[in-house]
Structure 1
Amino acid sequence: MQSHPHAPAQATQPVRSRRELTQFVELPYHLHRDDPHFVPPLRSECRRLLDRRRNPFFAYGEAELFVARSDDGRVVGRIAAVDNPRHNDFHRARDGFFGQFECVDDPAVARDLFEAAAAWLRRRGLNSMMGPVNFTTNDECGLLVDGFDAPPCVLMPYNPPHYPALLEAGGLTKAKDLLAFERDGRPYDDRIVRIADSVQRRHRLRVRSLDLRDFNAETARIKHIYDQAWQENWGFTPMTDKEFTALARRLRKIADPSLVHLAEVGDEPVGVILALPDLNQALPVAHGRLTRFGLPIGAARLARAVRRIDRARCVLLGVVAEFRGRGIEAVLMRRLHEAGVTSYRGIELSWSLEDNHAIHRTITAVGATHTKTYRIYQRSL
């Protein structure tokens, strides 16, 4: 990775102009351009996330963007301070968040960024700061602290190995770890297959793939399971209907219906497993842009590269509380494996909370191993 010598940073300042917003967006492309594991996100997606008119988060939440500059005017760091009232109402808390953190390898610059974010959150009456979260725990979140030997999967964050030390220099400590697991395409153990078959018969469980012809109703079914299955999890905040619909429409563009399965008892949806083709395998060819010189060069390259994707990421695996602990998770994982084994050589399951021991037992029982750790940090204000 290329080093980035720089002069001492000036005071960190909020983003106010379109030019400053562009500099905010561009910073990670400059910082990580020589890192072989950095996957350049599409700039259009980065801007969509920050757009107050297009991101449904801003219907109820607020964020302030900051950049740090060196004495010669170059941007050497960035951060977003985030106020999420829905999180605080749901958890009866006064938590603030930070996200979008990028920084040169300089603890002084990092401290300035965290102080700017902390001061903004303090003025809003919040008494803690957690992150990285971009902008909710339903978006990309966590700092990679273990597993730097491979690129991230689709919709998972990435950072170089020196970032944890920068957060610690800013007074942040561990709040919770998020774990990623990996499984290759080898067949399931016969014992797991027998258990899954028995569970399916016992509960008269119907497991089916996603019906894109009934997309709106399917989205509502998945949201129902999501809200029920995750509501007791640390850090969970229910999505608004607009947030969930917007996310579903974005994911539909890259979804493989054979990787999305619902479990139903009678007419009631009780579980879901949702995996996505790992778009990050293809994204590097676009260099962060779908168009160049007015031509869809990046889009054409990306379309060709997508056909070579051979791994997936399991984004959701959940069962409503009433049916949890009965082996339905194993049934769903087996169905996902059967559907994807001919097209995908492996799958990442991410993320799960470090203390969600029940799901970890299921994941490891089917042959997956822990490969990456992401961390949510915290600091009192």
Structure 2
Amino acid sequence: MDVVPVVSPNDLTRFIRLQHQIYRDDPNWVAPLPSDEKTRLAPGKNPYFEHAEAAYFLAREDGRDVGRIAASVDRNYDSIHGERQLAFGFLEAESAKAVEALVRAAERWGRERGAKVMRGPMNFTTNDDCGLLIRGFEEPPTILMPYNPPSYAAWLESAGMKKAKDLFAFRVPIPASPEQEIPQVTRIARKCSERHRIHVRPLDMKHFEEELQKVKVIYNSAWEKNWGFVPMTEHEIDHMAGQLKPAIVPQLALFAEIDGETVGFALAIPDVNVVLKPIRGRLFPFGIVRLLWSLPRIRTLRLMALGVKAGFRRRGIDAALVHRAAVVSHARGYTWCEVGWTLEDNDLINGLIEAVNGDRYKTYRIYERSL
């Protein structure tokens, strides 16, 4: 088996298309749009590369591509966390042998750049889709969440990887009556909203750029102490917002304010994967028609973000945001919402999700290995 670097546009196309070979018989896989994949893998288009570099590798056997991996180093991560990390991601393989060869190739590339620890999968950071699915293979992934065959965990462990951190995803039913179905959260939301003068409002799409500035402040403040977190740059947040904007329902992009100051933010978006799954990554000739026709008919959500600004926690702001999201979601006809991912040891947020009848139905794992 040989492992070769991706060096040409044709190589990159093979790198992207390999997924279709791996998952051709998997009913739960959701094919990403090739244009989206090319954008995030391209240094000239993904702002991640303003502070990072990456290399892509293909495993080949008997003249066939049988695996792939990306290796990257992020100067921002290293400066914030005080260590030299090699992140691996975009992992796909047909065998344990291919995984072993790909991991060794990524390690060599990382060592050449001074990396001391290898972690992943991350595509490319914890701000992106990350983690290896180890529990919950029965259902397709929701938007921007990873998916992989059950065999990958054992193959990575055989290659010397150990658990670093587990991530949870919860399935939460949308309550028809918050007062009766999530009474604790409803009570806290109302009591704290009155005591602390919390005002929850929807995103104003007419002033999208101004609203985005508030999101930037909340996002980097709310997540700064989380394991593995790297603050997103201005360009990265702008880039992500541009990608998500077509799917945003303003009434489900919520700001919490106290005396005019924005102190919290929550974002739930329709699970576009419900529409993307049947078109298998092909927008043309008929995929785009199905996509446009189906978007208003999606009945599931993913809560992608729920954060409270440092200095304003434990005032019921998160409960106020969750309560409003529940009321709006039911009114708009949504039936359930995936909440995640969350860190396994984030007891505060995991407890809040369980208080709204959340069922932990998927677990993802970040692996690590010293170099």
Distance 1:171 1:250 in 2: 36
TM-score (norm 1): 0.94
Matching of residue 311 in structure 1 with residue 300 in structure 2:
yes
User: 1:5: which partner in 2?
Assistant: none
Q: Secondary structure at the match of 1:301?
A: helix
Q: Is the 8 A contact 1:173 1:379 kept in 2?
A: yes
Q: Which moved more, 1:190-199 or 1:109-118?
A: 190-199
Query: Is residue 44–residue 289 contact of structure 1 (8 Å, CA) maintained in 2?
Result: no
So what's the TM-score if we normalise by structure 2? 0.97
Q: Are 2:272 and 1:279 equivalent residues in the alignment?
A: yes
Q: 1:358 aligns with which of 348, 351, 355?
A: 348
Q: What residue number does 1:367 align with?
A: 357
Corresponding position: 1:28 with 2:19: yes
One-letter identity of the residue aligned with 2:24 = R
What secondary structure, in the 3-state scheme, does the structure 2 residue paired with 1:101 have?
A: strand
Q: Structure 2 unaligned runs (5+)?
A: none
Aligned counterpart, 2:73: 83
- Pairwise CA RMSD: 1.0
Give the conservation status (yes or no) of the 8 Å contact 1:285–1:305: no
- Per the alignment, residue 301 of structure 1 pairs with 290
Cα drift, residue 365 of structure 1? 1.1
Match of 2:222 in 1: 229
Deviations 1:80-112 (A, max 9, x none): 0011110111111111110100000x2111100
Tell me how far 1:207 sits from its aligned partner.
0.4
Bigger Cα displacement from structure 2, 184-193 vs 348-357: 184-193
Q: Residue 311 of structure 2: SS of its match in structure 1?
A: helix
Report the CA distance between 1:197 and its aligned residue: 0.5
1:44 pairs, out of 35, 38, 63, with 35
Q: State whether residues 120 and 368 of structure 2, in contact with CA within 8 Å, keep that contact through their aligned partners in structure 1.
A: yes
**CA distance in structure 1 between the aligned counterparts of 2:273 and 2:109, rounded to whole angstroms:** 34
Contact kept? 2:133, 2:147, Cα under 8 Å: yes
How far apart, in 2, do the equivalents of 1:307 and 1:31 lie? 31
Aligned to 2:212: 219
- CA drift of 1:190 comes to 3.1
Contact 1:183/1:346 (CA < 8 Å) preserved in 2? yes
Map of 2:163 onto structure 1:
174
* Counterpart pick for 1:160 among 145, 149, 153: 149
Residue equivalent to 2:284 = 291
- Alpha-carbon distance between aligned partners in 2 of 1:98 and 1:207, rounded to the nearest angstrom: 39
Deviations 1:293-345 (A, max 9, x none): xxxx2211211222321000000011112111222111110100111113210
- Report if the CA contact (8 A) 1:181-1:370 is conserved: yes
Q: How many residues align?
A: 366
Q: Which of 5, 17, 22 is the matching residue for 2:8?
A: 17
Moved more, 183-192 or 45-54: 183-192
Question: d(CA) in 1 for partners of 2:250 and 2:166?
Answer: 30
Q: Does 2:247 align with 1:257?
A: no
Number of the residue aligned with 2:123: 134
- The one-letter code sitting in structure 2 at the alignment partner of 1:93 is E
2:370: which partner in 1? 380
Alignment partner, residue 57 of structure 1: 48
- In structure 2, the residue matched to 1:341 is 330
- Paired position in structure 2 for 1:202: 195
The aligned counterpart of 2:103 is: 114
Identify unmatched segments of 5+ residues in structure 1: 1-9
